[in-house]
Chain A
Amino acid sequence: MILKLVWENVRHKPVRTLLSILLVAVPVTLILTIIGLSIGFFEDSQKRSGGVGADVLMKPPNANLITFSSVTMPSKIVEVLAAEPHVVQAMGTVVNPTSGFLEALNGIDPVAFDKMSGGFTFAEGHNLQGPDDILIDTWYADQHHLHAGQKVNISNKEWTIAGIVEPGKLGHLFVQIHTLQEMVGASNHVSQVFMKLDDPANAEKVVSYLKKKYEGYPVLSMQELQSLLSVDHIPVLKTFINVIIGLSVLIGFAVVSLSMYMAVLQRTREIGILKSLGASKGLVMGIILAEAFCIGFGGTVLGILLSYASRLAIQTFMPLAIVYSWWLIAGGIAMGAALLGALYPGMMAVRQDPIEALAYE
């Protein structure tokens, strides 16, 4: 009977209810989109770093392990590292950020790269041949509507798209390493060196050895690099997400509180009727909270649906993951804010004098 009463109350003012649900849905979508973007970006990065086929990575001294490195390591170090114990192949690459968000040109030696990674899978075209050739992955091609054979201007240079490859290997854009070295004015230098070992199980041993031998050079296993590619290892991002969650709670709280406050005011007489029938304070509060629960639940469901819509809109620019575990968290936040927001209006309803409530016009 209570469910019927709550349902009829929610249904009685459909516009107000739908607006409240929509406003609760906004922070849910915001949370899921921000989380989806963060995790999507890191999943994409993990996949691409894993796709190189290397076991160990070395970066220049003072370089951040999970961001783009400057081109300051002499190319000769590649040969030196290739001769180290357990290393069967060493490959230097040059990374140069473009004007795109978190986007970079990757300078590679196509032969060495194919040997280490197992080669690209081509959707269109062929491998890098000329100095101005560029390979782009299908994600970038779809985003910019590009095809093999077309010209594309990236970092103020016109490139010829030699081929379009399946994503998941190092980056989205690949050019000849020498061309990129010249572009950045760092001939005979690389940004990082990937190493393939005789056995991946030797990675920790090799990392430890290289750290001692090449003091100051950050060295880490690819497994370790992948574990670092998470929200938890970027304090700024973690803070940003916490701020978004805090704002979401605030918005959800304010929206539901306002909505339920209006509902209580509009239904003053009905609350008086329920009290005249002998409804307890707990029952009246329960009805208000149940309505807030409905709004919170509806907002959560709509927020999840809208997060799919935002994914459709964003994924052409940024990888956006659907993180199912956050449905519960975002839903919990929305429901918590909704119930919290309904507490004050609920208390108002509970405290209403039945005689005054019955006289309310």
Chain B
Amino acid sequence: MSSNGAAASPNSSAEQIIRIRDLRKSYITGKVSVEALRGVNLEVPQGEFLSIVGPSGSGKSTLFHIVGGLTPPSSGEVIVAGRNVSAVGDAGRTELRRKSVSFVFQKFNLLPNLTARDNIRTARFISGLPSSHFDDELKSVLDLLGIAGRLDHKPSEMSGGEQQRVAIARALATRPAILLADEPTGNLDTKNSLAVLAILRDLNERLGQTILMITHNTEAAEYGHRIVHMRDGLIVETTNRSDF
């Protein structure tokens, strides 16, 4: 266990796919400046399943958004999959989302007008991958997720668990370097939550997929190799899971 400073990786010899130095992020809300991140340092090696936990307002979502290129940092250095997020503009962050990171959200965020297949095809199209057919790798992911038979259904015709599996399939369909999961079990019942978490761990183990998951749920966090605890915009504790 370590506290604050650079949260150490359990496998320091592996390539660091995320490297964060003194990351700060301030928002202006009305006339008040809110410091969401106050100097975060973090390294994540390739292939790690990292859980980030913390109460509301701890800064974990802001960290998630910066790593995912959804918002720029105020200061500090953020290297994600070889890209210096702090040095690129809007186009650079768009490129990061297109090529290197994928999201799985609490509310699934599937395009409601499209079938599961077309949701996946859209993500592949945007990433510049062939969208007309699915390759064997993607087919095996769909089998693993158990949604191969549900691809022609629209989100409104699927259960929450199925929608989240489609969201995971869509995220993996672009072969991202990092899968960012934001409370992926937040809208699911216990059974589906366990299934989704098992799938994430399975994907990590079988495919070596780097996963960064933020969650309120401490049981869900246990699925990660490492748990980073955040509070008041800082990493306050890091727990290495010894059973991995």
A contact residues vs B (CB 8 Å cutoff): 1-2, 4-5, 8-9, 11-12, 269-270, 272-281, 283, 353-355, 358
- Cβ-defined partner of A269 (8 Å) among B109, B114, B121, B131: B109
B111 touches A (CB below 8 Å): yes
B71 touches A (CB below 8 Å): yes
The answer to whether A274 and B113 have CB atoms under 8 Å apart is no
Collect the chain A residues with CB atoms within 8 Å of residue B51's CB.
none
Nearest 10 A-B pairs (CB), nearest first?
A: A278-B98, A278-B97, A1-B125, A8-B113, A12-B113, A273-B109, A277-B126, A354-B70, A277-B123, A1-B131
Q: Report the minimal beta-carbon distance from A148 to chain B, rounded to whole angstroms.
A: 64
Range of interface residues on B (Cβ < 8 Å): 20 to 34
Collect the chain B residues with CB atoms within 8 Å of residue A12's CB.
112-113
Which residues between 31 and 70 of chain B lie within 8 Å of chain A, taking CB atoms?
A: 65, 68, 70
The answer to whether B99 and A276 have CB atoms under 8 Å apart is no
A127 to B175 alpha-carbon distance, docked (Å):
88
B118 touches A (CB below 8 Å): yes
The answer to whether B95 and A5 have CB atoms under 8 Å apart is no
Collect the chain A residues with CB atoms within 8 Å of residue B103's CB.
276
When A8-B114, A273-B109 are in contact, do A355 and B65 touch as well, CB less than 8 Å? yes
- Cβ-defined partner of B113 (8 Å) among A2, A11, A279: A11
The answer to whether B97 and A276 have CB atoms under 8 Å apart is yes
Q: Report the minimal beta-carbon distance from A135 to chain B, rounded to whole angstroms.
A: 64
When A2-B125, A355-B71, A358-B105 are in contact, do A277 and B97 touch as well, CB less than 8 Å? yes
B91 touches A (CB below 8 Å): yes
The answer to whether A277 and B99 have CB atoms under 8 Å apart is no
B3 touches A (CB below 8 Å): no
A269 to B107 alpha-carbon distance, docked (Å):
11
- Cβ-defined partner of B118 (8 Å) among A8, A274, A280: A8
B contact residues vs A (CB 8 Å cutoff): 65, 68, 70-71, 90-91, 94-99, 102-103, 105, 109-114, 118, 121-123, 125-127, 131, 170, 174
- Cβ-defined partner of B94 (8 Å) among A4, A11, A280, A358: A280
- Cβ-defined partner of A278 (8 Å) among B99, B111, B113: B99
The answer to whether A277 and B122 have CB atoms under 8 Å apart is yes
- 6 pairs from A and B in contact (CB 8 Å cutoff): A4-B118, A12-B113, A274-B122, A276-B109, A277-B102, A277-B170
- Cβ-defined partner of A1 (8 Å) among B68, B102, B122: B122
Q: Which residue of chain B has its CB nearest to the CB of A358?
A: B109
A272 to B107 alpha-carbon distance, docked (Å):
13
Q: Which residue of chain B has its CB nearest to the CB of A353?
A: B71
A194 to B98 alpha-carbon distance, docked (Å):
78
Collect the chain A residues with CB atoms within 8 Å of residue B97's CB.
275-278
Q: Report the minimal beta-carbon distance from A290 to chain B, rounded to whole angstroms.
A: 14
The answer to whether B70 and A277 have CB atoms under 8 Å apart is no
Collect the chain B residues with CB atoms within 8 Å of residue A5's CB.
111, 113-114, 118, 122
The answer to whether A273 and B131 have CB atoms under 8 Å apart is no
Q: Which residue of chain B has its CB nearest to the CB of A276?
A: B103
Collect the chain B residues with CB atoms within 8 Å of residue A355's CB.
65, 70-71
Collect the chain B residues with CB atoms within 8 Å of residue A270's CB.
111-113
A2 to B111 alpha-carbon distance, docked (Å):
13
A264 to B179 alpha-carbon distance, docked (Å):
28
A275 to B99 alpha-carbon distance, docked (Å):
13
Collect the chain A residues with CB atoms within 8 Å of residue B109's CB.
269, 272-273, 276, 358
Q: Report the minimal beta-carbon distance from A110 to chain B, rounded to whole angstroms.
A: 71
Collect the chain B residues with CB atoms within 8 Å of residue A283's CB.
126
Collect the chain B residues with CB atoms within 8 Å of residue A273's CB.
109-111
A281 to B92 alpha-carbon distance, docked (Å):
12
Collect the chain A residues with CB atoms within 8 Å of residue B113's CB.
5, 8-9, 11-12, 270
A8 to B112 alpha-carbon distance, docked (Å):
10
A355 to B71 alpha-carbon distance, docked (Å):
8
Q: Which of B96, B102, B105, B125 has the most CB of A within 10 A?
A: B125
Collect the chain A residues with CB atoms within 8 Å of residue B110's CB.
273
Q: Report the minimal beta-carbon distance from B155 to chain A, rounded to whole angstroms.
A: 11
Q: Which residue of chain A has its CB nearest to the CB of B101?
A: A278
- Cβ-defined partner of B121 (8 Å) among A1, A11, A280, A358: A1
A273 to B103 alpha-carbon distance, docked (Å):
10
A138 to B91 alpha-carbon distance, docked (Å):
69
The answer to whether B94 and A275 have CB atoms under 8 Å apart is yes
- Cβ-defined partner of A274 (8 Å) among B68, B96, B121, B126: B126
A217 to B131 alpha-carbon distance, docked (Å):
77
Collect the chain A residues with CB atoms within 8 Å of residue B112's CB.
12, 270
Q: Which residue of chain B has its CB nearest to the CB of A359?
A: B107
A12 to B91 alpha-carbon distance, docked (Å):
30
A269 to B95 alpha-carbon distance, docked (Å):
20
A325 to B52 alpha-carbon distance, docked (Å):
65
Q: Report the minimal beta-carbon distance from B181 to chain A, rounded to whole angstroms.
A: 13
